[in-house]
Structure 1
Amino acid sequence: MTQIFYEGTEISADVELSDLKVTDSCGDQADGIDAVFANSENQWSGWKPRKGDTLNIIHDGYRSGSMWIDRIRQETGTIQIGAVSIPTGGKTKQTRAWEKVSLITIAAQLAKEYGMTVKFLSVPNEVYSRVDQMGRGDFGFLRERAALEGCSLKIQDSELYLFSDVWLEGQPSVKTIDAADFLESPRFSDSAGETYGSCSVSWGKTGAVYTDSGGIGPELSVTDYPVSSAGEALRFAKNLLRNANKKGVTGEISIPLDTTVSAGNVIEISGTGLNDGKYLIDAAQHSFAEEISRFSLHQCFTRF
């Protein structure tokens, strides 16, 4: 049974759910809820949903976590509601600066400002002489800074997770999925079109280049971030190159609904031949009406 909580109140008995998809994401995107409700008798008129209100889904032990409504669409007989895990105001452009600060300190400050707790998983504690946030939303800015240190972030149920990509991809597999388990035709891609052979980071006369010995493609040139030393430039170049190349092999698969598998999990794929191996799940979309789980994933990157 699916339980629906609006602003902390269970409303399952008061509304009729037609379609429900919950997307659990890791790194680039926020988690999301996409729900369609029957509204032929104006069942939602008493609740009057508004952007910024919270929506939470529980299904047989699975919890989406509270998300903030950011889309409402009403059509004849239905109402569609979308929600995301990024707090209201998280995309508002901000300008500010820090001095003698680390990524951990910045993340902890932003989490506190939004009333979130924070967890760090193998995050380096390098100190920068100065960091400027120039007209960027807080979480987009934090995501960029995390990438410089080879890290990604996830926001779930008012908790901010910041983790090392190398650490995450090195975790043991939680499940082996065989090709015989696929419900829809899988799609795998091994493309050099968006990969690079090297990355250069420079600021003024200070800079460095990192080369991927197994990489294919041009040099990624980055001149957007101030660096205080050649060592810092080299560290940024290595991490940005890994971030650009880690999704050289990607895939999309679907299996019978399995909410025990989530974004950020490592799985083994077997039975495909060419594309067998260890993959990290970038996004897990659970479609409760269809009883299907769809995964977007990439092969774990091991060159550096």
Structure 2
Amino acid sequence: MRKARLNITFEGKDISKEISPYLKTMTYTDFASGKADDLQITLEDTAGLWSGDWFPEKGSKVKAEIVCSAWGALGDVSLSCGTFEVDDITSSGPPAIVTLKAISSMTSTAIKNELKERVWEKISLKQLAQGIAAEHGLSLFFVAEEGAPYGKVTQSKESDLSLLQRYCTSRGLNLKLAEEKVILYQGKLFEEKPPVLTLKKGDGKILTWSFNTRSHNIYRACTVQYFDADKKEYVEHTFTPNNGPRTGQTLVVNKRVESIADAQALAKAELRNVNKDEVKATLSLVGNPLVVAGLNVDVEGYGIFDGTYFIEESRHSLGAGYKTDATLRKVLGY
């Protein structure tokens, strides 16, 4: 029989059976970058167990998994939500309920909060990320073009996470912390991966849909202007993608860079950053463990909006059934 259930481990102990009679809703939100994944569990608490003897401690480790049985064409399939730390607990009523909110493990450590001052010379972005990850006992997941090394990297009253985010943004890379990893990847490379499924209008998988396209602040090209210290002159580089917008203004960026290679990387990154939301979609789906942030899906049957979309955010909810809500953007192709 078609069924979706929650497997949950609390501080290393499987409490799936114990929690099942009290579970009202569970929501797992997964982000492609920039935000910490989160988990929210609402429990019935008429007997006062969850606000009494079973009251969880803040900071406790929780691991969650959505397990689907006989799930249509997917068969038996599951979605590992990851490991979280309990961050917020609310008891309310009537009726009496307890809501646990947890954030992705490792998001509240020194990598985010401790401000530092230091300098690196002749170092690549990957080397920088590897060193910072190792300092915090994390591993590095890196999928991106190496790029030219930086002549100098300066950290001034800035956290390690903020520093990495700044340099990732300038190279058009996405950054995320999850599962005791620093995850750093190039959006363009992930947009080129094959779609994990096709969502077709009328096939019963899509419950509601909304598409939006805009022209405001969409640019045809990007020009980076910088001062070449060796030549003692201003230099500029313009990036115009072959498959970009046919009309529009040129975005001009005045920012200090060290070389023409940095200017090229920055021009591509800045253009992608401003244009990536040109076509967006929000879909509410019959629960689907394949719809995960960072992956691609094909959308068909919606006319001009058809195409391949990158999943920016997915929200998986268990309660009166299993539902997935997704925020997507059409891939740029450059």
TM tier, smaller: 0.7 to 0.9
Change (3 A) 1:236 1:78: same
Higher Rg: 2
> Counterpart of 1:298?
329
Give percent identity, aligned residues only.
Answer: 24
The 2-side partners of 1:74 and 1:123 are apart by: 48
TM superposition score normalised by structure 1? 0.88
Deviation at 1:134, TM superposition (A): 3.4
Against the structure 1 CA distance between its residues 188 and 93, is the aligned structure 2 distance closer, same or farther, given a 3 Å change threshold? farther
CA 4–258 in structure 1, closer or farther in 2 if over 3 Å, else same: same
Match of 1:70 in 2: 87
1:1-304 aligned within 5 A: 1-15=5-19, 16-44=22-50, 45-60=52-67, 61-76=78-93, 77-85=96-104, 87=106, 88-89=108-109, 90-96=111-117, 97-180=119-202, 181-201=204-224, 208-212=236-240, 214-215=244-245, 216-217=248-249, 219=251, 221=253, 223=255, 226-289=256-319, 290-302=321-333, 304=334
Tell me the secondary structure at the aligned position of residue 314 of structure 2: strand
The answer as to whether partners of 1:208 and 1:237 remain within 8 angstroms in 2 is no
Q: Is the 8 A contact 2:207 2:286 kept in 1?
A: no
Number of matched pairs? 301
Could you tell me whether the CA contact under 8 Å between 2:226 and 2:236 is conserved in 1?
A: no
Q: CA deviation at 1:71?
A: 2.4
The CA distance in 2 between the partners of 1:165 and 1:212, in whole Å, is 18
Report the secondary structure of 1:64's partner residue: strand
More deviation, 193-202/141-150: 193-202
Mean CA deviation greater in 163-172 or 64-73? 64-73
Shift of 1:207: 5.7
Q: CA deviation at 1:178?
A: 0.5
String of CA shifts for 1:238-261, please: whole Å, max 9, x gaps: 212212212211111121111122
Paired with 1:73 and 1:212, the residues of 2 have a C-alpha distance of: 51
How far residue 6 of structure 1 moved from its aligned partner, in angstroms, is 2.0
Partner of 1:83, secondary structure, is strand
Other structure's SS at 2:277 match: coil
Deviating more after overlay: 169-178 vs 145-154: 145-154
Alpha-carbon offset, residue 294 of structure 1: 1.1
Code of the residue aligned with 2:63 in structure 1: it is N
The amino acid across from 1:3 in the alignment is: N
Q: For 1:51 and 1:142, locate their aligned partners in 2 and report how far apart those are by CA, in whole Å.
A: 28
Change (3 A) 1:123 1:161: farther
Letter in 2 for 1:75: S
CA distance in 1, matches of 2:100, 2:227: 48
* Cα-Cα RMSD: 2.4
CA deviation after TM superposition for structure 1 residue 111, in Å: 2.1
Q: Please say if residues 116 and 160 of structure 2, whose CA atoms lie closer than 8 Å, have aligned partners that are also in contact.
A: no
Gaps of 5+ in 2: 68-77, 229-233
Give distance in 1, aligned partners of 2:259 and 2:198: 44
Assess if the C-alpha contact under 8 Å between 2:222 and 2:270 holds in 1. yes
Residues 1:157 and 1:231: Cα distance change in structure 2 (over 3 Å)? closer
TM-score (norm 2): 0.81
User: Which ranges of structure 1 fall in alignment gaps of 5 or more residues?
Assistant: none
Q: Structure 2 CA distance, aligned partners of 1:46 and 1:136?
A: 42
Distance in 1 between residues matched to 2:84 and 2:145, nearest whole Å: 26
Equivalent-residue separation in structure 2 for 1:86 and 1:230 (angstroms): 39
SS of equivalent to 2:161: helix
